[in-house]
Chain A
Amino acid sequence: MSLAMQTKINLSEMSADRAQPQRSAVTPPIRLTRSERMRLGTIGLIGFIGIWSLLSLTGLVPRQFLPAPHEVLIRFIELLGTPFAGATLVEHLASSFMRFAYGFLLAAMIGIPLGLLMGWYRWLDDVITPIFDMLRFIAPIAWVPFAALWFGTGIGGPIMIIFAGAFPPCLINAYRGARFVNRNVIEAAQMLGTSNLRIVTEVLLPASIPSIVAGLRVSAGLAWQSLIGAELIVASAGVGFMMVQAQAGVATATVMTCMLAIGLVGLLIDVALRQIETAIRRRHGQS
């Protein structure tokens, strides 16, 4: 009885909500313009920095545990020119980025073709999928001991760890893209006498581009994350390495500078790939 009544009340409340959609708390009433959204983003950022400053400057959190934003900024600018742990921040970033680029490109170069081929050749799918499904649950960082053992701590080891992070999204998204290609166009290609391998390159690849690029974005993010993780343990240069050195000396502002740099570079990578993604989508007439 009471339950039924409650349901009724809830239902009437819901319908009341629906009758006045402009009052709905769930869906925003109108779509925000670009400038409005940017303003909101700025407010969020200022709020974040404000709370941070408050915590740090009032001494609520000890200064050596949480340096103030301006200190981090000053340290950031300082480190652009002065070496720390053998190199400037820019140099460390460059060496990190190189590793990232190698690992990421290697993952893309193997993952995308393999994913597409798996999407076309059923037997390959059946051979690879079980192994892949198991391996991809091993976090990239878990490869550190073997990466160091097999490829050393210079460039090889970290690249292998990045590869472990970047590879799955490349493969999965190429595979999904290939599997969900409209049957119509595949049949059209077959009817035109396109060989199996050419179907992969002429049909599956272009039809999967949006999915592949989306996968590359995810992949780049994971690659960049796993790289820093890898550098914390292996490597003798790079932002991760720099962080470990700073941490050893309790140089918290330096540690935060590194974090800031990691975030910024990650953001730049993502923005760049997002630009590419939109450009490609537009070319495909799909948005």
Chain B
Amino acid sequence: MASIEFSSVGKVFNRAGIDFVTLDGVDLSVAEKEFVAIVGPSGCGKTTCLRMAAGFEFPTLGTVKVNYRDVTAPGPDRAVVFQQFALFPWKTVAQNIELGLRNKGVPKVERQERVKNAIALMSLQGYESAYPHQLSGGMQQRVAIARAYVLEPEVLLMDEPFGALDAQTRVSMQEELVRLARVNPRTVLFITHAVEEAVYLADRVAIMTKRPGRIKEIIDIKSVRLAEKWDEHERIEDVMDLESFVHLRTHIWRSLREEKGSQVH
């Protein structure tokens, strides 16, 4: 089905006539139905990577492939949850979520059913006909997630999707995402600043260096998770207490701190 592959990806942005090397030789592959999280210092190029997989940006060097084909344009097979939500302010919550299905030509009855499910999944009941500006930041983010989920895309590209959520909602969203990922695994590229979140959700965690970004290290979480039977714990805090979890988290934390430390001259 769907996999994502970055091979020796370099990206140079030109700002005011000066070239900024943002990415320098990124190699990363996300296997079919695998959940890969990227962590890294701010400005290291995480969003840029995701945007290249989405088809909004193109590599200066190297290739980005989804499904073994070069990415040439955005499309609904790669649903994106944007860092800044990017909801349509003139559409209601339901209309925002529905647009992708309408574009696909999904019949009305099925469309309404699926929108309803997505709204329930994100606990947005009662806000179907509200406009985005009438919602809190966290709720807007949940609409953005629902808009991507409802498409049941092969590839999900999520850019700090839980960043604007309060701690409780965040936890329930994380648990929900884990549940979904286990029941119905998809290829997911997930960007986050929260190390715990990465370890809890991902099969593998890729750590990036500071700018110019490169993949510094890839940590395999899945083998540990299976060996240590994390899935037997229903609650996130129980998993986070496990020694194996703490160990991985600390390792990633240290690795990131090195990057941040070396930023300061």
Query: Does A associate with B in a complex?
Result: yes
Listed in ascending order, the chain A residues whose CB lies under 8 Å from chain B are 182, 184-185, 187-195, 198, 202-203, 206-207, 209, 284-285
A194 B89 Cβ-Cβ under 8 A? no
Chain B: interface secondary structure? loop
Do A195 and B103 contact each other (CB < 8 Å), given the known contacts A187-B56, A284-B90?
A: yes
- B133-149 residues with Cβ-Cβ distance < 8 A to A are 133-134, 147
Name the B residues within 8 Å of A187 (CB-CB): 54, 56, 74, 80, 82, 86
A206 in complex: contacting residue of B55, B78, B90, CB < 8 Å: B90
Chain A: interface secondary structure? helix
Instruction: Report if B43 contacts A (CB, 8 A).
Output: no
Do A192 and B90 contact each other (CB < 8 Å), given the known contacts A184-B82, A187-B56, A285-B133?
A: no
Name the B residues within 8 Å of A188 (CB-CB): 80, 82, 86-88, 147
- B62-95 residues with Cβ-Cβ distance < 8 A to A are 73-76, 78-80, 82, 84, 86-91
Instruction: Report if B253 contacts A (CB, 8 A).
Output: no
Name the B residues within 8 Å of A190 (CB-CB): 55-56, 73-75
Instruction: Report if B104 contacts A (CB, 8 A).
Output: yes
Known contacts A192-B147, A194-B103; can you find 17 more A-B pairs with CB under 8 A? Answer: A182-B86, A184-B84, A185-B87, A185-B89, A187-B54, A187-B56, A188-B87, A188-B88, A190-B74, A190-B75, A191-B54, A191-B76, A192-B76, A192-B79, A198-B103, A285-B89, A285-B131
Instruction: Report if B221 contacts A (CB, 8 A).
Output: no
Contact sample, A vs B, 24 pairs, CB 8 Å cutoff: A184-B86, A185-B86, A185-B89, A187-B56, A187-B82, A187-B86, A188-B86, A188-B87, A189-B88, A190-B55, A190-B74, A191-B54, A191-B74, A191-B78, A191-B80, A192-B76, A192-B79, A193-B75, A193-B100, A198-B103, A202-B99, A284-B90, A285-B89, A285-B133
Q: How many angstroms from the CA of A181 to the CA of B148 in the assembled complex? A: 22
Q: How many angstroms from the CA of A140 to the CA of B91 in the assembled complex? A: 39
Which 6 pairs, one residue from A and one from B, show the smallest C-beta to C-beta distance?
Answer: A193-B76, A285-B133, A192-B100, A184-B86, A188-B86, A206-B90
A145 to chain B, nearest CB (A): 44
Q: How many angstroms from the CA of A228 to the CA of B184 in the assembled complex? A: 69
Name the B residues within 8 Å of A202 (CB-CB): 88, 99
B212 to chain A, nearest CB (A): 24
Instruction: Report if B151 contacts A (CB, 8 A).
Output: yes
